[in-house]
């Protein structure tokens, strides 16, 4: 009985291919699904089917009935269906969806956080909408300070702004808890900027460690360990003197160019310098400690800030940062 049903299915589907208008669809319907139709009659034989095959027989019969009805209904709704239009085989399984993937920025972000967590750093977050106090003043950048210009801030109203860096989380954390502190703060930051290496929104990880007798050597140790964890142990790390209003002394941190290792005269990744800037860092300025009522004679600490898109570009060899946010599935499928 089941075999017979399979045969009917095969025949019906073949015949369906040659149905091209509503009249033919109606004859087809009568032939298979009418009161005395082939399929209708055959399905009445259920009682003769061995009990163990009945569920399969019933299921197949119903599925076939539904598919044929659906196919026919297309013609009966519209008599103007073009000649030679082939009908779909509604019994075929649908096209399978691609499995979901993680966005590359999220992948790199969680790899970075894992390395810091393995060193005992706890993750903290702060608001994207900040005040001038947390984003600037408490970090040693008073109103009208020229350093503010570097930040290209999006102001929301006289009091609110979109944070230009994750450094305000340093202040918010120190206000709420007393030392020792060992945190990282991942999150989105915003700047009025857009080109192949800059975006109006990107991600940073801030780091802050405050304890007794913390020195620049501790900062070097932590960042070297992090950079070896993310870029591999062969990468070289160097610290260049720099300036940030909330750290003293301050440094910019470079890694050796993984593309040419300093040897290639035509390296576009490092512009032949052999080095790539990867972070800003320094020892927490005593003025910052004063703004959160920490005794800078008792406590010392270091801080750092890293750009995640920059790290992702280097790891994946992406040369235009904007590609990460165009939602182009062909691009995103590569990761
Ligand atoms: N907030 C800085 C920026 O976005 C990066 C930075 C530099 C963070 C030095 C720090 C630091 O914590 O110590 O440009």
- 208-217 per-position pLDDT tens digit: 999 999 999 9
Tens digits of residue pLDDT in 18-51: 888 888 888 999 999 999 999 999 999 888 888 9
Phi-psi region of 250 (alpha: psi -120 to 50; beta: other; left: phi over 0): beta
How far does residue 272's CA lie from ligand 1's centre (Å)?
A: 25
Per-residue pLDDT at 78 exceeds 60: no
Nearest CA, atom 4, ligand 1? 165
- The encoded tokens of residue 50 equal 């061995």
Residue 304 Cα to ligand 1 midpoint, Å, equals 6
Which residues lie closer than 8 Å to 22 by C-beta, 6 or more apart?
Answer: 75, 76, 78, 79, 81
How far, in Å, CA of 324 to CA of 209, rounded? 31
CA of 316 to the centre of ligand 1 (A): 24
Distance CA 180, CA 301 (A): 9
- Percent of the chain, pLDDT > 90? 64
User: Taking the model in full, what pTM does it have?
Assistant: 0.72
pLDDT level of residue 177 (50, 70, 90 thresholds): very high
Does 3.40.1110.10 match the CATH number of domain 104-332? no
For residue 86, with 0-12 CB atoms within 10 Å meaning exposed, 13-18 middle and 19 or more buried, which class applies? exposed
> Reduced to 3 states, what is the DSSP secondary structure of residue 218?
helix
Could you tell me the residue ranges of all domains in the chain?
A: 2-84, 104-332
- Ligand 1 atom closest to 170 (CA): 12
Bridge partners, residue 188, by sequence = 203
């Amino acid at each position: 009985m089941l075999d017979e049903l399979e045969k009917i299915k095969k025949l019906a589907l073949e015949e369906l291919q040659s149905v091209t208008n509503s009249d033919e669809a109606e004859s087809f319907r009568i032939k298979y699904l009418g009161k005395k139709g082939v399929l209708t009659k055959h399905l009445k034989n259920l009682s003769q089917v061995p009990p163990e095959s009945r569920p399969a027989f019933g299921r197949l019969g119903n599925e076939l009935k539904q598919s044929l009805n659906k196919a026919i209904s297309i013609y009966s709704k519209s008599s103007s269906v073009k000649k030679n239009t082939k009908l779909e085989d509604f019994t075929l399984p649908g096209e399978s969806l691609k499995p979901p993937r993680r966005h590359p920025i999220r992948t790199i972000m969680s790899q970075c956080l894992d390395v810091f967590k393995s060193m005992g750093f706890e993750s903290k977050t702060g608001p994207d909408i900040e005040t001038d106090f947390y984003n600037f003043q408490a970090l040693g950048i008073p109103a009208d300070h020229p350093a503010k210009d570097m930040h290209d801030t999006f102001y929301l109203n006289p009091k609110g702004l979109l944070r230009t860096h994750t450094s305000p989380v340093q202040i918010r954390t120190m206000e709420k808890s007393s030392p020792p502190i060992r945190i990282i703060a991942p999150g989105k930051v915003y700047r009025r900027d857009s080109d192949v290496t800059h975006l109006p929104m990107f991600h940073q990880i801030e780091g802050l460690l405050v304890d007794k007798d913390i020195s620049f050597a501790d900062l070097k140790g932590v960042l070297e360990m992090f950079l070896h964890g993310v870029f591999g142990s062969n990468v070289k790390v160097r610290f260049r003197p720099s300036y940030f209003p909330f750290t003293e002394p301050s440094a910019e941190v470079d890694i050796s160019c993984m593309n040419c290792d300093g040897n290639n005269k035509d390296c576009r990744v490092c512009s032949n310098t052999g080095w790539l800037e990867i972070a800003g860092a320094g020892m927490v300025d005593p003025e910052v400690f004063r703004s959160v009522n920490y005794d800078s004679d008792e406590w010392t600490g270091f801080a750092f800030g890293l750009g995640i898109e920059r790290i992702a570009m280097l790891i994946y060899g992406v040369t235009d940062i904007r590609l990460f946010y165009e939602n182009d599935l062909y691009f995103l499928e590569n990761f």
